[in-house]
Amino acid sequence: MVYAMTSYTRFTVAKSSPSLWRVTFDNPPINLIDAVMMKELLALLTEIERDKRVGVVLFDSADPDFFLAHYDIAGDPADLEGVETTPGRHPFTDLHIRLSKSPAVTISAIRGRARGAGSEFVLATDIRFASRERAILGQFEVGVGAAPGGGALNRLPGLVGRARAFEILVGGQDFDGELAERYGYVNRAIPDEQFVEFVDAFAQRVSRFDLLALADIKRFVNAASLPADLPLGAEIDAFWQAADRPAFPALHSQAFEAGYSQRGPVELNLGEFVGTILADPDTYSTR
């Protein structure tokens, strides 16, 4: 088990009441999910699971342009090796499974970009509110040579139906708040000027309700609708297999050269960008 840390470096935790925790991502320059953030999120989950009074955990971002950019693929994988997780599970899969099964209600307040693993993090939370003007969601991974591996393949069909799941996943495009709402990718898109007030009022309201009633709701809705653990594990395995194919490093080196993982136009418009690169520009891939 990961033991609760006394402090976090990739996000802050503010408890406005014993039952309402606000977790604010703050990992400049663009809120990449790196190994340290993953370790800290796993530690936070342990805190949540052990606490007897937290009813609602609200996730937001200190950066209005980036909620969670995506996974830090350039990070050192060795950074993850010390993490203790549920045996047999990749830490990322473990994080998402425990997040969905946590007795607390989890809410993502999405302003800025949530793509790739950032999109998958919000898909693993219970409720997603999006700023109509500022939120951008997407699964761009297909454009850099892999299917997503952190749950999108298993979670999206139940949320948006298989046809819209295919469109999101094979298109790799950016979805703004309005289209994300029409597709069910988020619960609702709220005008940005009302966004903070709306989300805070909702979170506070829920946090005052009876904790056992909330836990019962989570238990039954999870039983009725949560994807099974097993295909979530298969999904991450397939991702790492894809990463061993030539297309993956070829596309990533083009992307990094252009500004991938840095604050700038490529990350601001990543959906559009991945449509401009090819693993082998002179030919098409085969199966």
Residues 185-244 that bind its own copies (CB under 8 A): 186-187, 202, 205-218, 220-221, 223-227, 231, 234-235, 238, 242
Subset of residues 70 to 109 that bind its own copies, contact rule: CB under 8 A: 103, 105
Of the candidate spans 25-33, 37-45, 78-86, 181-189, the one that interacts with its own copies by CB under 8 A turns out to be 181-189
| List of residues 6+ apart from 52 with CB closer than 8 A | 211
| CA-based nearest residue to 117, from 29, 234, 225, 236 | 236
Is the CB of 40 or the CB of 181 nearer to its own copies? 181
CB neighbour class for 273 (10 Å; exposed up to 12, middle 13-18, buried from 19): buried
User: Measured at the alpha carbon of residue 106, what is the angle toward residues 270 and 12, in degrees to the nearest 5?
Assistant: 75
Report if residue 118 touches its own copies, rule: CB under 8 A: no
Length of the chain: 287
Of positions 91, 143, 150, 177, contacts its own copies by CB under 8 A:
143
Of the candidate spans 2-10, 33-41, 125-133, 257-265, the one that interacts with its own copies by CB under 8 A turns out to be 125-133
* Radius of gyration over every alpha carbon of the chain, rounded to an integer in angstroms: 18
Of positions 28, 64, 161, 191, contacts its own copies by CB under 8 A:
161
Report if residue 174 touches its own copies, rule: CB under 8 A: no
CB 95 within 8 A of CB 39: no
CA torsion angle 122 152 154 231 (round to 10): -100
Q: How far is the CB of 262 from its own copies (least distance, A)?
A: 23
Report if residue 156 touches its own copies, rule: CB under 8 A: yes
Subset of residues 17 to 56 that bind its own copies, contact rule: CB under 8 A: 17-19, 52-53, 55
Is the CB of 6 or the CB of 284 nearer to its own copies? 284
Binding-site size for its own copies (CB under 8 A) equals: 78
Instruction: Give the residue carrying structure tokens 């069910």.
Output: 184
Is the CB of 23 or the CB of 159 nearer to its own copies? 159
Report if residue 172 touches its own copies, rule: CB under 8 A: yes
Q: What is the DSSP letter of 3?
A: P
Is the CB of 131 or the CB of 207 nearer to its own copies? 207
Please report, for residues 55, 85, 114, 127, the alpha-carbon distance to residue 27 in angstroms, rounded to integers and kept in the order given: 26, 23, 14, 23
